[in-house]
Structure 1
C-alpha cells in the first residue's frame, strides 16, 4: 500500500456478494409492509380487548368489591412462578392444594363408647377363629335422631298481698313470660332465618320434619322477632363500642322497604359490626349512629354523605383505581393517570412495610400529596377523564390518611365484605315489609356478624340473650295475673 494514503478497512469495501442498492430498497419496502400489517393486527387486538372489557363491565363495574376479582388474581399470581418449580397435576386438574403441601387432618374426637366387633369364623371357608390377630379401630361420628318436643305445663301460682293488695305470679327460669315456645325454638328460628336463609314457611317445615313440632310460618316470624327484641340491648352495646372506636369502616347498599327504596348501612370495626336500615342515604345516618362529634376516622368510598359528616376520612383506593383503570381502557389521556395512581399506591404499600417512623410518615404524606396535586392539574380533553381528575381532587385531603396513621387501611374492603350477607338476603327475601321487619333485620344481622367476628357460637349466644332478656323483664315488670282454667 502506498505510503501517505488512508487505509480503508476491508469490511467497508464493496464486494460482489454485498446487496445492491435495489435489494436494500426492496428489503425496506418489505419491512414497511410488515410493520404496517403488524400495526393493523395490533389495532384489531386493541379493539377486541376493548370490546371484551366492555362486556365484562356488565357485571364488574368500578364499584365492584375487589374480592370478586380475587380468584383471577390468585390464578395469575400462582402462574408467575418459574415453570421449573411447577409439577404436573396427576389428579385431572381438580381444585385443591399443590402437590407436596403438608396435609391437615381433623382432630380425632374422644369416643363416647367403645364396641368390640368380632367375627367367629372365616367368611370364605368357614373355619372357626380361635382368637383375634389384632384390632382395626374406626371412629364414627353420628348425630342423635331428632327428638320430639318436650311439652311442659307450668302451673304458675299467683298470690295477693294482704297488706298492699299487690298480685304476684310465681316465675320459673325456663318458662317464658309470653308465647308458648321456649328458648331453643326462638333461637333456632332466628338462626334458620338469618344464618341458613330459610323462608319462614321452610322454617316451620323444618321443625315439623325434625321434631314433629307444629309451627306456622307466622309463628316462626314471631319467634324470630322475639329473638331480635331480646337482643336489642346487646345491639345498642355494639353501637356504643363502634362509637368509641378510633377507626370505623362505613358503607351502604340499597334495600327495599315495602317496595320503596331504602338503605342498609354497615359500620364495622375490628371486633364489631353494626347494621342500620334507614330510608335515608344522607349524612344524618352516620350522625345518628356515630354521633355528631365522632372523633375517629371513617374509611369510606366517595359518596357525598361522608365528607358532609366528617372531615377525618380515608377514601378507598380500590374504588379510584378501578375507575381509573376503566377510564384508561377507553381514553388515552387516562392511561398516565391510572399508571401514576397505581405506582403511588403500590409504592406506598411497599414503603409502609419498612415500618417508618412518625416523622418519616409525615414527610412521605407531604410528598405524596404534592404528587397527587400535580396529577390533577394536568389538562385533558375528554369529559370522563376530567371527571376522574375531579374525583381525585375532591378527595385530595383524604387519600393519604393511612400514610400517617398505621391503624388505618387504604381500602374499604372490610365494610364491603360486611355487606355481602345483606346482599344475599336481599336477593332471597326481596323486600322488608314494615318497621318491624327493619328492626328485626338490622338487629339480628348485627348480632350474628359480631359474634362471628369474635369467634362466638351464634346459637349459644342467641339462647343466652333470650334467656337473659326474660330474667330482666321479670325484674322490671310485674306479670299480669291469669285466671285459672
Structure 2
C-alpha cells in the first residue's frame, strides 16, 4: 500500500506516530548531550586535580605515578609493596647493605641449665656458649621533684634586694630544662599535638601536665633559642651562596608564607605574611653580596641580580611541554644535553679562564635556542622563560660554589610541609615565632651533626644565665 491509497485518517495517524517518534529521538539526544556535558565536567575536574600533582613545578618525588612492575615480578604481588614516589622498596641494586651498630654490653648474664629438658639427666659443664645481645630501654622513670629554698638578702650598704639563684632552678615556671627540651622535640621531631605531648609525659614519666603547659614549655624553648636563631641569620647573611625557597602556610586561617634560607651548614626559616622581595631583603640584608639560588619567582630578581635559576624546574617544565607539543621535544632535548654536558665538563675541574669561555659559549647556545620563532602558546612561553633568565641560568658555570639546582632549599621545605598538613594553621604571632625558631635550630643542628636534645638543654640553661645576668642591677661604688 502506497501513500496514495491511504485515507485521510490513516495519513493523520501515521503523521502523529512520526511526530511522536521525533519527540522521543529529541529527548534521547537531549539526555545524551546532558550526559556528555556531565562527563566533560568530570574530565575537567579530574584534569585539574591531576595538574596539582603532575605539573612542571612538582618534584619527581611528589608526583603520583605508580612504579611499573618488574617483568619478573609476581602479578598478584601485594599493592602495599608498590611505591608511588618513583622508587622501589628495599636497597638499590649495587648499593652496599646497611647494618646496625652493635653496642658493647653493659652487663653480662650467665644463662645455665642444670638438667636435660628431654630426659631430666643432670648436665655436666657446658660445651660452649651461644651469646645473644639484647638491647632494652629502662622502665619509665618517675619525675624528680626538687624544692629550691631560694634565700633572700638585702644589702645593708646599698639596699639592693637579692634572691639567690641555682643553675638548675628556672626563674620561670615549674618545669626544668629536660621537660622543655622534650616538649619541643615531641612537637617538632615527633610532630605530636600538644595534647598527645602531655599524654606522652604522663605515660613515660608519670608527669602530669596539660596541653597548654606543653605549649608553654615549647614556647620557652623557642625564646631560649632565639639568640642562636639570630646567630644563624648572621651566618647566612655572610654566606657566599644561599638557597632560597618559599611555600604557603596558614596564619589564623589567612594566607602566609614560610621562607627557607639554606647554606651548607645553616638553615633559617622565616614565617611572613608577604611573598615579596621585602622578605629576602629583611632576612639577608639590603647589601647582601652573595649568590641566591632560586626558582623563577619574581621576588628574587627584584631583590638581587646575583642569581642562579634552578635547572631542575626548567627541565621539568621543558619535559612537560615536550610531552604535549611536538615542537617542544627539540627544546627539551637541547636543554637536557646542555645540562648533562656542563655537569660532566665541570667534573674536570676547569680553570677560571676555561669557565669564562664555557659560560660565553653556553650562553650563545641558549640565545640561539630562544631566537626560534614559535607561535604555539606553551612552547613560546617556555622560550620566553629561558630568554627572561639568560643572565641567571649559567651562574654555576663561572662560580664553583654555586649549584645549578635549588634542591637544597626544596628539601629544607619538606619538614614544614609535613607539619603544615598536621597543624593546619598557625594561630598568631607567637605561633609564627615558635615555628620559625625551633624549625631553624633543629634543621641547623642536624646539618652540623649535633644532638638536638643536648643542644636544646644547653640553650635553655644559657638563656637562664643570660636572663639572670641582665637582671642584676649595676650599683655605683660608694665614696
TM-score with structure 1 setting the length: 0.82
Q: CA deviation at 1:106?
A: 2.6
For 2:316, the equivalent position in structure 1 comes to 322
- Aligned 1:437-476 pairs, distance under 5 A: 437-476=431-470
For the residues of structure 2 that align with 1:465 and 1:201, how far apart are their CA atoms? 25
Asked if the contact 2:54/2:64 (under 8 Å) is kept, the reply is: no
For the residues of structure 1 that align with 2:239 and 2:196, how far apart are their CA atoms? 39
2:107 equivalent to 1:113: yes
Instruction: Give CA deviations for 1:176-211 in whole Å, capped at 9, x if unaligned.
Output: 000000111000000000000000000001111111
For the residues of structure 1 that align with 2:416 and 2:91, how far apart are their CA atoms? 31
Asked if the contact 1:186/1:226 (under 8 Å) is kept, the reply is: yes
2:57 equivalent to 1:63: yes
For 1:129, the equivalent position in structure 2 comes to 123
For the residues of structure 1 that align with 2:422 and 2:242, how far apart are their CA atoms? 28
Asked if the contact 2:53/2:62 (under 8 Å) is kept, the reply is: no
Distance 1:285 1:58, change over 3 A: closer
Asked if the contact 2:53/2:64 (under 8 Å) is kept, the reply is: no
2:424 equivalent to 1:413: no
For the residues of structure 2 that align with 1:239 and 1:380, how far apart are their CA atoms? 45
Asked if the contact 2:237/2:288 (under 8 Å) is kept, the reply is: yes
For the residues of structure 2 that align with 1:438 and 1:108, how far apart are their CA atoms? 41
Distance 1:380 1:294, change over 3 A: same
For 1:171, the equivalent position in structure 2 comes to 165
For the residues of structure 1 that align with 2:428 and 2:144, how far apart are their CA atoms? 34
For the residues of structure 1 that align with 2:426 and 2:301, how far apart are their CA atoms? 29
TM-score with structure 2 setting the length: 0.83
Q: CA deviation at 1:228?
A: 0.1
Asked if the contact 1:66/1:413 (under 8 Å) is kept, the reply is: no
- Aligned 1:1-400 pairs, distance under 5 A: 57-68=51-62, 95-97=89-91, 103-400=97-394
For 2:396, the equivalent position in structure 1 comes to 402
Distance 1:161 1:55, change over 3 A: closer
Asked if the contact 2:308/2:396 (under 8 Å) is kept, the reply is: yes
Asked if the contact 2:151/2:164 (under 8 Å) is kept, the reply is: yes
SS in structure 2 opposite 1:332?
A: coil
For the residues of structure 2 that align with 1:99 and 1:283, how far apart are their CA atoms? 45
For the residues of structure 1 that align with 2:377 and 2:184, how far apart are their CA atoms? 50
For the residues of structure 2 that align with 1:270 and 1:232, how far apart are their CA atoms? 21
Instruction: Give CA deviations for 1:140-171 in whole Å, capped at 9, x if unaligned.
Output: 11110011111111000010111111100000
For the residues of structure 2 that align with 1:401 and 1:270, how far apart are their CA atoms? 18
Give me the CA root mean square deviation: 2.4
Distance 1:99 1:325, change over 3 A: closer
SS in structure 2 opposite 1:367?
A: helix
Unaligned runs of 5+ in 2: 1-45, 82-88, 474-479
Asked if the contact 1:299/1:412 (under 8 Å) is kept, the reply is: yes
Q: CA deviation at 1:333?
A: 2.3
How many corresponding residue pairs?
417
Higher relative contact order (CA 8 A, sep 6+): 1
For the residues of structure 1 that align with 2:366 and 2:122, how far apart are their CA atoms? 88
SS in structure 2 opposite 1:252?
A: strand
For the residues of structure 1 that align with 2:117 and 2:224, how far apart are their CA atoms? 62
Instruction: Give CA deviations for 1:304-331 in whole Å, capped at 9, x if unaligned.
Output: 0000101000000111111111111222
Distance 1:219 1:134, change over 3 A: same
SS in structure 1 opposite 2:396?
A: helix
Unaligned runs of 5+ in 1: 1-51, 480-485
Q: CA deviation at 1:139?
A: 1.1
For the residues of structure 2 that align with 1:230 and 1:55, how far apart are their CA atoms? 43
